[in-house]
Amino acid sequence: MATDNFEAVAASAGGSVASFEPENVSLGERTQRFLHNYPTAAPAFVLLMAVAFFYAIIGGKFLDPFNLSLVFQQVTIIGMIGVAQTLVILTAGIDLSVGAIMVLCSVVMGRTAITLGLPAELALMLGLLAGAVCGAINGFLITRLRLPPFITTLGTWSIFFALNLWYSESETIRSQDIAAQAPLLQFMGISFEFLGARFTTGTLSLLALFAGMWYALNHTPWGRHVYATGDDPQAAQLAGINTEKVLLSVYIVAGVICAFAAWTLIGRIGSVSPQAGQSANLDSITAVVIGGTSLFGGRGAIVGTLIGALVVGVFRNGLALAGVDVLWQEFSIGLLIIVAVAVDQWIRRA
Partner 1 sequence: MNAVTKLEPILKGRNMVKRYGRVTALDHSDFDLYPGEVLAVIGDNGAGKSSLIKALTGAAPPDIGDVYLAGALVNFKNPMEGRLAGIETVYQNLAVSPSLNIADNLFLGRELLKPGFLGKWLRMLDHQKMEQIARDKLSELGLLTIQSINQAVETLSGGQRQAVAVARAAAFGSKVVIMDEPTAALGVKESRRVLDLIKDVRNRGMPVVLISHNMPHVWEVADRIHVHRLGKRHAVIKPSTHTMSEGVAIMTGAMDPNDHPAGAYALPAGAM
- Residues lying near partner 1 in the complex (CB under 8 A): 1-4, 6-7, 10-11, 13, 16-19, 37, 215, 219-222, 224-225, 227-228, 231-232, 234-236, 238-241, 298-299
16 vs 24, beta carbon nearer partner 1: 16
Closest separation between CB of residue 128 and partner 1, Å?
A: 21
Nearest C-alpha neighbor of 80 from the set 262, 228, 234 = 262
Q: Is 275 helix (H, G, I), strand (E, B) or coil?
A: coil
Number of neighbours of residue 38 by Cβ within 10 angstroms? 13
Q: Is 147 helix (H, G, I), strand (E, B) or coil?
A: coil
8 vs 195, beta carbon nearer partner 1: 8
- The two beta strands, 191-194 and 197-200, are antiparallel
Closest separation between CB of residue 221 and partner 1, Å?
A: 4
Spatial CB neighbours of 342, under 8 Å, sequence gap ≥ 6:
none
E-state strands within 167-303:
191-194, 197-200
Closest separation between CB of residue 24 and partner 1, Å?
A: 19
Hey, what amino acid is at 136?
A
CA-CA-CA-CA dihedral for 226, 82, 281, 112, to nearest 10: 100
Give, for 46, the enclosing helix (H) or strand (E). Answer: helix 41-58
18 vs 327, beta carbon nearer partner 1: 18
| d(C-alpha 184, C-alpha 16), whole Å | 65
The per-type count for the chain, helices as H runs and strands as E runs, is 16, 2
Closest separation between CB of residue 98 and partner 1, Å?
A: 24
Helices 65-90/302-321 angle, 10° precision: 140
61 vs 219, beta carbon nearer partner 1: 219
Closest separation between CB of residue 274 and partner 1, Å?
A: 38
Closest separation between CB of residue 36 and partner 1, Å?
A: 8
8 Å CB contact between 347 and 32:
yes
> Residue 122: phi, psi to the nearest 5?
-65, -40
Closest separation between CB of residue 88 and partner 1, Å?
A: 17
135 vs 223, beta carbon nearer partner 1: 223
CA-CA-CA-CA dihedral for 265, 270, 272, 275, to nearest 10: -70
Closest separation between CB of residue 32 and partner 1, Å?
A: 13
Nearest C-alpha neighbor of 111 from the set 130, 96, 97 = 130
Residue 26 Ramachandran class (φ > 0 left, ψ -120 to 50 alpha, else beta) = beta
Closest separation between CB of residue 291 and partner 1, Å?
A: 16
